[in-house]
Amino acid sequence: LCYQFPAILFDGTTIVFSPLIALMRDQVQQLKSLGISAECINSEQSKQENYLILEQAKQNRIKILYVAPERQESLTWLEAVKKLKLSMVVIDEAHCISVWGHDFRPAFRKIIELVKLLPQNFPVLATTATATERVAQDIIQQMGGGVKYLRGNLMRHNFYLKVVNVASEDDKLAYLAQVLQHELDGTGIVYSGTRVNTEIYSRFLNYQGIEAINYNAGFDADTRKDIEQGLNNNRWKCVVSTNALGMGIDKPDLRFVIHTQIPASPIHYYQEIGRAGRDGKDAQIILLYNPQDRELPQHFIETSRPPLEHYYRVIKQLKSEPLSRGELMRRTNLARTKIEVIIADLIDRRVITEVIQPRAKKYEYQFDAPPLDVAAFEQLRQFKLEELEKMIEYAETDRCRMLYLRHYLEDRDIGDCHKCDNCQSRKLIYDINHYWQQRVEDFKNNYFPEIEVVKVSRQDRAISERRSKLVNGVAFSYYGFSNVGATIHHCKYENGGYFPDYLLNGVVRAYRSYFKGERFDLIIYVPPTESGDLVQDFAQRIANILKIPLSHGLIKTRDTKPQKVFQNSALKRGNLKGAFNYNNTAEVRGKDVLLIDDVGDSLATIREIGSLMSRLGVNKIAPLVIARTIGGDIVDGSPDFSRRSGASSNSVPLPQKSTVKTREDKPFAQIRQTYPRAYEKWTKQEDELLIRKFYQGESVVKLANYFQRKEGAIRSRLRRFVAESEVSEV
Mean pLDDT for back-to-back runs of 10 residues, the chain (730 residues)? 86 89 83 92 85 92 91 78 90 83 70 81 87 86 83 90 94 96 95 90 94 88 87 94 75 95 93 92 97 87 84 93 91 86 87 80 89 83 92 96 93 90 93 91 86 61 60 89 78 85 94 93 87 87 96 82 53 65 91 94 85 92 91 41 31 38 46 72 75 78 86 76 55
CA distance 606 to 596: 9
CA distance 346 to 314: 10
Q: Which of 2, 147, 144, 10 is nearest to 84 (CA)?
A: 10
102: amino acid identity, one letter: H
Which residues, in sequence order, are CB contacts of 351 under 8 Å at separation 6+? 315, 365, 366, 369, 370, 372
Backbone angles phi, psi at 229, to 5 degrees: -65, -40
CA distance 257 to 402: 15
Q: Which of 611, 526, 535 is nearest to 573 (CA)?
A: 611
The angle at the Cα of 558, spanning 552 to 561, to the nearest 5 degrees, equals 100
Residue 571 has a pLDDT of 56
As beta bridge partners, residue 401 has none
Residue 531 has a pLDDT of 58
Residue 480 has a pLDDT of 66
CA distance 555 to 524: 10
Q: Is 587 helix (H, G, I), strand (E, B) or coil?
A: helix
CA distance 335 to 709: 42
3-state helix, strand, coil in the chain (%, to 5): 45, 15, 40
Residue 360 has a pLDDT of 74
pTM of structure: 0.73
Residue 319 has a pLDDT of 93
Query: Strand 86-92 to strand 124-127: parallel, antiparallel, or no bridges (unpaired)?
Result: parallel
**66 neighbors 39 (Cβ within 8 angstroms):** yes
Residue 463 has a pLDDT of 40
Which residues, in sequence order, are CB contacts of 64 under 8 Å at separation 6+? 4, 7, 8, 13, 14, 16, 31, 36, 37, 38
Three-state SS string over 166-223 comes to CCCHHHHHHHHHHHHHHCCCCCEEEECCCHHHHHHHHHHHHHCCCCEEEECCCCCHHH
**683 neighbors 648 (Cβ within 8 angstroms):** no
Q: Which of 149, 96, 155 is nearest to 274 (CA)?
A: 155
Tell which phi-psi region holds residue 573, choosing left (phi > 0), alpha (psi between -120 and 50) or beta.
Answer: alpha
